[in-house]
């Protein structure tokens, strides 16, 4: 799980071009949007792409997206849960 969270942080920094941010700056439970990391709705679309491209998880429902993409913790938990369900 820790590896997955680290991987997610690296992918977010890379794909969202967060030039001044390191993995240490992103807390596991830090809200990714608004007051936490400060991502916006264009970034939200990119996170959906990361989930699909790198982790095979499709997010098509906006309300699901809002919950799942809340923090690194919620993203990692969802990936694990979906992978377990698909075994």
Partner 1 sequence: MRISAASTISHQDTFQHKGFSAALTGLKQGAQVLEPDYTKFIAPMELRRMSEVLKMAIVCAVDCLDQAELEQPDAIVVGTAIGCAVHTKNFMDKILASDGGLISPTSFILSTHNTIAGQISLRLKNHGYNMTHTQNSLSFEQALMDAMLCVKGGCKQVLAGAADELETSLYDIKARLHQEHAIPVCGASFFVLSAEAVVGSDINLVDVESLGLVTGLTEHIATFLSSNKLSAADIDLLLYSNSTQNTVDELTTIFGNGKLYDYQAISGTYLTNSAFALHFGIDALSYTSHPLFGENVRNVLICNNLIPENLGLILLNKTY
Partner 2 sequence: MKVFVTGIGVVSAIGLDVEENLQSLKSSSTGISRDNNYGLMLGKVRLSNQQIIDLLELPSGIYSRTTLLALLAGKEAWGAHTHDKNIRTGLVSATSIGGMDQTEQYYHESKKNDAAQIIGEMTFDNGRTTEQLAAALNFSGYIGTISTACSSGANAIMQGARLLEGNKLDRVLVGGSDPLALFNIKGFGALNIYDQNICKPFDDARKGLNLGEGAGFLLLENEHSLSITGSKPLCLLTGWNNASDAYHQTASSPDGRGASLAMVNALAKANLVPEEISYINAHGTGTGNNDLSESMALKAVFGEKIPPFSSTKGFTGHTLAAAGAIEAVYCVLSIQAQALLPNLNFSNPMKETGMMPENRFRSGVPVVFVLSNSFGFGGNCTCLIFRKAQ
For binding to partner 1 (CB under 8 A), which residues are involved?
Answer: 15-20, 38, 42, 45-46, 48-49, 52-53
The verdict on 42 binding partner 2 (CB under 8 A) reads yes
**Nearer to partner 1 (CB atom), residue 28 or residue 46:** 46
In angstroms, rounded to a whole number, what is the distance separating the alpha carbons of residues 81 and 75?
Answer: 10
**Nearer to partner 1 (CB atom), residue 1 or residue 49:** 49
Q: Are 32 and 9 in contact (CB under 8 A)?
A: no
Q: Which of 50, 60, 55 is nearest to 83 (CA)?
A: 55
The site for partner 2 (CB under 8 A) is made up of 41-42, 45, 48-49, 60
């Amino acid at each position: 799980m820790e590896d997955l969270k680290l991987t997610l942080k690296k992918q977010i920094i890379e794909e969202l071009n967060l030039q001044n941010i390191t993995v240490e700056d992103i807390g596991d439970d830090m809200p990714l949007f608004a007051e936490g990391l400060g991502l916006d709705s264009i970034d939200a679309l990119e996170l959906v792409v990361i989930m699909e491209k790198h982790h095979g998880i499709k997010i098509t429902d906006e309300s699901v997206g809002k919950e799942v993409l809340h923090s690194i913790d919620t993203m990692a938990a969802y990936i694990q849960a979906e992978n377990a369900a698909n075994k």
